[in-house]
Structure 1
Amino acid sequence: MDTRQVIATLPALQLIEKLRARHGPVLFHQSGGCCDGSSPMCFPTDDFIVGDRDVQLGEIGGAPFYISAPQFEYWKHTQLIIDVVPGRGGMFSLENGEGVRFLVRSRLFTDEEFAALQAQGKV
Structure 2
Amino acid sequence: MSWYVKTKQTLIETMADTIVGTVDVTGLPAEPIERLRTVAGRYRAALLAHRDGGRLVAGTFTGVYFALGLPQEEQTLSDSPRGLSGELVATDTYLALAQVGEQLMVADSFDARFDYGLARLLGVA
Q: Report which of the two structures shows the higher radius of gyration computed on alpha carbons.
A: 2
Q: Which has the higher contact order (CA 8 A, sep 6+)?
A: 1
Structure that is richer in helix per residue: 2
Q: TM-score, normalised by structure 2?
A: 0.28
Structure that is richer in strand per residue: 1
